């Protein structure tokens, strides 16, 4: 919503529909809301909470009440975010850099920081719940290496959530008391050090980008294997690379601060570490492609999203490397190139994977099938719209269009208009998704237990699952072995091949 307004403003080089203040508030709101309210909790909380207990073959997550608390906290956090608008908004950007954020006249900073603080707790509780569930509640017979890769991804994510989010918590807490009471820890006028804020912030926020992307990668691992009807290629490498990303992700935060005045030795170290974090991501991409190789690929809607993901994430990740090397960074920092980079990874990565996962598990969650045709069209629209919107921004970035400006010089007009048109295409795609998903609830045909032929445990129970998830204990096997699943047109889904024993 806010995003569409921001882009519309950019149809003409000067003021179109709003002033500079409104623009500043708008992109800040968009950034903070998207990151803290949707992208971070999106896959773990929305899909993970449903799928995780099914995949481990448990009746529920380990702490259902904690889970509920985390949901309420999310709502409270959202309320604070809205409240921040009502009291006057805020224009600090989603990063809340001090000392600007402690001195800006807009009154919304404290509410939004409080909101983000509360959302942080929600995120921590989700992660805690996942770790304990995976450790303690796996079905009898399921070892660590019989788990679907989505669980490995959620596990890695949960580790990051638990280890990084508290640091964001204390940072925001300090920001709040600083603004409310004038503590001065980050305020140079009182002897404090504003750069410390940036370190704290990115110590959380770089790992946070992996909170966003690692579960997305997990979803993709499932989709690619199921829709290629082929065992995932080198299971262990994918599993370990999730953990590797979680660990390396903690060591690279300084790449957001190359231009902040930190020493060049530190810059060099952070740059080198940034490159190393790309290795596990590349391992995964390689394994996905290898899985598809000679597979029997069916282009159902979820698979289309998975393929879009591969394409977009490759671009996003590679441009991350441009930004991670020092010389190019100095040129590209705070330009549209950065904006395009993180949209390719956050939107092209996380949101696309979320949509893919949503389409994959939708029949399991709701017990209804949606129209695959409409799904494919929507996916196509979103793919085109997205590229139109953000690829143009790469070009503008390299030509020097700075981010967070509401006016721009004439030379960028064509590209800006194209980018805005892309946004509208994107919007249409989303409306279509919303339409047919809601429609499926009302009129969709009943979903079979196993519409796609998945071999992980969630497909062994009915769609939607009963209250305690499984009416009889699930049989644990290799989650990527599709050999004994056959399509049965009568139930319009897959079922286990019944061995006649006469062999």
Partner 1 sequence: MEAETTQSHTSSEHNPHLAHHFGSLTQQFDSGKLGMWLFLATEILLFGGLFCAYSVYRANHPEIFIYAHQYLSKFWGALNTCVLLFSSFTMAWGVRCAQLGRQRGLVVCLALTLLCGFVFLGVKYVEYKEKWQHGLLWGKYYSPVHHHDDSHEAASGEGPAPQEGHPAVASAVAQSMTPTVVLTTDAGVVVERSKILPAPTGPGGLASLSAGRESHGDEPRNVQLFFSVYFLMTGLHGVHVIVGLACIGWILRRAVRGDFGPGYFTPVDLVGLYWHLVDLIWIYLFPLLYLIH
Closest CA to 29 of 128, 96, 121: 96
Residues 244-263 that bind ligand HEM (CB under 6 A): 255-256
User: Counting contacts by CB under 8 A, is residue 188 touching partner 1?
Assistant: yes
Candidates 259-267, 294-302, 305-313, 363-371: pick the segment binding partner 1 (CB under 8 A).
259-267
| Paired tokens of 203 | 């110590």
* H/E segment holding residue 252: none
Total count of residues recorded for the chain: 503
In three-state secondary structure terms, 446 is strand
User: Counting contacts by CB under 8 A, is residue 247 touching partner 1?
Assistant: no
In three-state secondary structure terms, 335 is strand
The listed partner (partner 1, ligand HEM, Cu ion, none) that binds 190, CB under 5 to 8 Å by sort, is partner 1
- Minimum CB distance to Cu ion smaller for 250 or for 383: 250
Among 152, 342, 383, 470, binds ligand HEM (CB under 6 A): 342
Among 218, 324, 385, 454, binds ligand HEM (CB under 6 A): 324
Candidates 224-232, 374-382, 385-393, 464-472: pick the segment binding partner 1 (CB under 8 A).
464-472
* H/E segment holding residue 487: strand 485-488
Closest CA to 157 of 201, 203, 217, 116: 217
**CA–CA distance, 493 with 478 (Å, rounded to integer):** 20
Among 105, 143, 191, 489, binds partner 1 (CB under 8 A): 191
**CA–CA distance, 307 with 305 (Å, rounded to integer):** 5
Radius of gyration of the chain (CA): 23
Q: Where are the alpha helices (DSSP H) in 96-234?
A: 100-103, 109-136, 149-181, 194-228
User: Counting contacts by CB under 8 A, is residue 484 touching partner 1?
Assistant: no
Q: Enumerate residues 6+ apart whose C-beta is below 8 A from 380.
A: 304, 429
The listed partner (ligand HEM, partner 1, Cu ion, none) that binds 7, CB under 5 to 8 Å by sort, is none
Q: List 485's β-bridge partners, or say none.
A: 496
| Paired tokens of 55 | 């995949």
- Minimum CB distance to Cu ion smaller for 206 or for 359: 206
- Going from the C-alpha of 279 to that of each of 213, 236, 284, 316, the distances in angstroms are 15, 15, 9, 14
The listed partner (ligand HEM, Cu ion, partner 1, none) that binds 137, CB under 5 to 8 Å by sort, is partner 1
- Minimum CB distance to ligand HEM smaller for 335 or for 440: 335
- Minimum CB distance to Cu ion smaller for 138 or for 206: 206
Q: Which residues bind ligand HEM (CB under 6 A)?
A: 95, 209, 212-213, 255-256, 274, 277-278, 281, 317, 320-321, 323-324, 329, 333, 338, 341-342, 345-346, 349-350
Interface residues with partner 1 (CB under 8 A) are 58-64, 66, 124, 128-129, 131-132, 135-137, 162-163, 165-167, 169-171, 173-174, 177-178, 181-185, 187-196, 200, 260-263, 266, 467-468, 471
């Amino acid at each position: 919503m806010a995003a569409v307004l921001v882009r519309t403003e950019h149809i003409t080089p000067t003021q179109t529909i709003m002033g500079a203040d409104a623009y500043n508030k708008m992109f800040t709101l968009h950034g903070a809301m998207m990151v803290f309210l949707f992208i971070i909790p999106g896959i773990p909380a929305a899909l993970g909470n449903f799928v995780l207990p099914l995949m481990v073959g448990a009746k529920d997550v380990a702490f259902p009440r904690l889970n509920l608390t985390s949901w309420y906290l999310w709502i409270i956090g959202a309320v604070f975010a809205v409240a921040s608008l009502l009291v006057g908004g805020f224009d600090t950007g989603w990063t809340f850099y001090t000392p600007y954020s402690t001195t800006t006249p807009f009154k919304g900073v404290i509410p939004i920081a409080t909101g983000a603080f509360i959302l942080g707790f929600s995120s921590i509780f989700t992660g805690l719940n996942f770790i304990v569930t995976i450790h303690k509640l796996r079905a009898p017979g399921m070892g660590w290496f019989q788990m679907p890769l989505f669980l490995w991804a959620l596990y890695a994510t949960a580790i990051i959530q638990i280890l990084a989010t508290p640091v964001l918590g204390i940072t925001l807490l300090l920001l709040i008391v600083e603004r409310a009471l004038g503590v001065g820890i980050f305020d140079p006028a009182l002897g404090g050090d504003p750069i410390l804020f940036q370190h704290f912030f990115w110590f959380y926020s770089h790992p946070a980008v992996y909170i966003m992307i690692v579960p997305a990668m997990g979803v993709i691992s499932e989709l690619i294997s199921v829709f290629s009807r082929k065992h995932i290629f080198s299971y262990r490498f994918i599993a370990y690379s999730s953990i590797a990303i979680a660990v390396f992700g903690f060591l690279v935060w300084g790449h957001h601060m190359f231009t902040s005045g930190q020493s060049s030795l530190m810059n060099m170290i952070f740059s080198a570490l940034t490159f190393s974090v790309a290795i596990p991501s590349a391992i995964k991409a390689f394994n996905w492609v290898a899985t598809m190789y000679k597979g029997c690929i069916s282009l159902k809607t979820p698979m289309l999203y998975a393929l879009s993901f591969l394409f977009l994430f490759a671009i996003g990740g590679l441009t991350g490397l441009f930004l991670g090397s020092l010389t190019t960074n100095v040129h590209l920092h705070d330009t549209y190139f950065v904006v395009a980079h993180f949209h390719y990874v956050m939107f092209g990565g996380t949101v696309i994977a979320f949509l893919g996962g949503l389409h994959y598990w939708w029949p399991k969650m709701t017990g209804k099938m949606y129209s695959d045709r409409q799904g494919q069209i929507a996916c196509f629209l979103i793919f085109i719209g997205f590229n139109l919107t953000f690829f143009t921004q790469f070009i503008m970035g390299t030509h020097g269009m700075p981010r967070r400006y509401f006016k721009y010089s004439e030379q960028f007009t064509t590209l800006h208009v194209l980018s805005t048109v892309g946004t509208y295409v994107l919007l249409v795609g989303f409306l279509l998704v919303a339409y047919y998903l809601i429609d499926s609830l009302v009129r969709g045909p009943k979903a079979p237990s196993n519409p796609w032929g998945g071999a992980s445990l969630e497909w062994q129970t009915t769609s939607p699952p009963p209250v305690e998830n499984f009416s009889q204990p699930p049989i644990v096997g290799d989650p990527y072995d599709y050999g004994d699943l056959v399509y049965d047109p009568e139930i319009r889904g897959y079922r286990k091949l019944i061995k006649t024993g006469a062999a």
